[in-house]
């Protein structure tokens, strides 16, 4: 049997209230373990069994850039890996061809500058650390490699960063379009690219609202199409918006009647 979890300083999973919690062994003896969870809680475990405490796999201890490489595939290992990376400002993590992004709620220096754009444009998916630009570049490359349309689905809860991720994708593709078209450095983008990128704030002005978790929450979904020429530059596009739910609509048509009834 594997009793590596009984060593001082060993990293383990401890089962608490039907959940697995990452913890560190502080002391052990007489069949009792003293553990400190990653959330600062101290716990005592007597008559330790494999069901209550077991050793953490090295892949979970060190963390991985691609969670398909995790040896332990359960919710706790996934959340722990995301948390470890988040603490180091590594907000992006791959799950195979899927990119998981955790909103940092702060600016990270150099994360989206032009130097980073050019870096990811020169490498294939997986050669560099996970990034939204890696996804955008893979789509751009596959258009020419497979001669087929590409699709990116961005989903998440309110405040997760869906709108900003969309803007970053458009930013990267806009730069790639300029490079393929030979646009002079003095010109930031063509009129088509400007129209597509700058349409987002206009739509947000009419379709966004403040919620508990997000001061700029989109109350609508967007389907964006970009049309590329054979040379690789953007020639056109369209933005189709759709309301998320009827509860997002307010009808004030009966407000005067209601106010009159209230006053009377």
Binding residues for ATP: 156-163
CA 222/CA 217 separation, integer angstroms: 13
The annotation places the binding site at 156-163
Which residue is listed with tokens 């400190």? 36
Cβ–Cβ under 8 Å, residues 68 and 81: no
Phi first, then psi: give them for residue 36, nearest 5 degrees.
-120, 120
HEC per residue, 58-83: HHHHHCCCEHHHCCCCCHHHHHHHHH
The whole-angstrom separation of Cα 151 and Cα 138 is 11
Sequence-ordered list of residues with C-beta below 8 angstroms from that of 259, at least 6 positions apart, any chain: none
């Amino acid at each position: 049997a594997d009793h590596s979890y009984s060593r001082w300083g060993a990293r383990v999973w401890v089962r608490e209230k039907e959940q697995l919690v990452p913890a560190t062994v502080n002391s052990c003896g007489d069949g009792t373990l003293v553990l400190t969870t990653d959330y600062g809680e101290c716990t005592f475990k007597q008559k330790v069994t494999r069901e209550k405490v077991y050793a953490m796999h090295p892949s979970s201890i060190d963390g991985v850039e691609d969670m398909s490489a995790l040896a332990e595939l359960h919710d706790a290992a996934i959340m722990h890996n995301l948390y470890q990376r988040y603490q180091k400002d590594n907000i992006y993590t791959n799950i195979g061809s899927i990119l998981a992004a955790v909103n940092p709620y702060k600016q990270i220096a150099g994360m989206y500058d032009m130097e980073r754009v050019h870096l990811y444009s020169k490498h294939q998916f997986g050669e560099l650390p996970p990034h939204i630009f890696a996804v955008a570049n893979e789509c751009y490359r596959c258009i020419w490699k497979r001669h087929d349309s590409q699709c990116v689905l961005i989903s998440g809860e309110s405040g997760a960063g869906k709108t900003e991720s969309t803007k970053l994708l458009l930013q990267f593709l806009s730069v790639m379009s300029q490079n393929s078209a030979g646009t002079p450095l003095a010109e930031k983008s063509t009129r088509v690219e400007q129209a597509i990128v700058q349409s987002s704030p206009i739509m947000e002005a009419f379709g966004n609202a403040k919620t508990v978790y997000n001061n700029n929450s989109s109350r609508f979904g967007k389907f964006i199409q970009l049309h590329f020429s054979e040379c690789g530059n953007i020639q056109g596009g369209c933005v189709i918006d759709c309301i998320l739910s009827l509860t997002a609509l307010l009808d004030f048509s009966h407000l005067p009647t209601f106010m009159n009834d209230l006053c009377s």
